[in-house]
Homo-oligomer: A and B are copies of this chain.
């Protein structure tokens, strides 16, 4: 059910994701959504959790690897491209858009940002400690907030304007800049 809900959200958008549309895609009875999840929104949050969990694992694996900064940026760019191509970006943006008219969704979405903020601030601490940018490592939490805000903004823009060339240029720029960051002391 969660997979049918995620696929419907990605392909039809929030406005087209009814219990009936999900059930048709998954080949089950529409009433099951309410029986198991109580509402379409709760099923969609479960679908977002599944998608987020998979993506988080990938980013977590990258963040804990000991690669030099420019490779980290390049790998992060590839993960972002996967986020776009696999539909995760659409799922996130559609639910955020829906939450504007449904305040009860907002707190749920804000709570789901927490693991991303933690992962990002952990990655900043780890990769910048011992580098000339170690001042940033000491303010890892607001810096992570900035990174997650930027990620959300890029999500929204990639939804408004599917031509991602600007995002590509941005990642190239980040990669160039990352060459300026001397490698941190190897993790012990």
Q: Which residues of A contact B (CB under 8 A)?
A: 13-15, 93-94, 96-101, 106, 109-110, 135-136, 139, 141-143, 145-146, 148-157, 159-161, 166-167, 169-170, 172-173, 176-177, 180
Least Cβ distance of A137 to chain B in Å?
12
Q: Are A100 and B94 in contact (CB under 8 A)?
A: yes
- List the B side residues contacting A148 at CB < 8 Å: 153
* Residues of B contacting A154 in the complex (Cβ-Cβ under 8 angstroms): 149, 153
Taking a contact as CB atoms closer than 8 A, the residue among B153, B161, B180 that contacts A110 in the complex is: B161
Nearest 6 CB-CB pairings of A with B: A153-B153, A149-B153, A152-B153, A97-B97, A97-B100, A15-B101
Chain A interface helix/strand/loop/mixed? helix
Q: Are B14 and A159 in contact (CB under 8 A)?
A: no
Q: Which residues of B contact A135 (CB under 8 A)?
A: 176-177, 180
Residue of B nearest to A166 (CB): B145
Q: Out of B97, B145, B173, which one reaches A96, CB within 8 Å?
A: B97
Nearest CB in chain B: distance from A95 CB, A: 10
Name the residue on B nearest A141 (C-beta): B169
Q: A93-B100, A100-B94 are in contact. Are A152 and B146 (CB under 8 A)?
A: no
Question: A152 to B161, Cβ gap below 8 A?
Answer: no
Given contacts A106-B161, A139-B173, 6 further A-B contacts (CB under 8 A): A96-B97, A97-B101, A135-B180, A142-B169, A142-B172, A146-B150
Question: In the docked arrangement, what's the CA distance between A78 and B156, Å?
Answer: 24
Chain B positions within 8 Å of A15 at CB level = 100-101
The answer for the CA separation of A173 and B144 in the assembled complex, in Å, is 12
Residue of B whose beta carbon sits closest to that of A167: B145
Contact B150 A149 (CB under 8 A): yes
| Residues of B with C-beta under 8 A to A98 | 97
Tell whether A143 pairs with B101 under 8 Å between CB atoms, given A149-B150, A152-B156: no
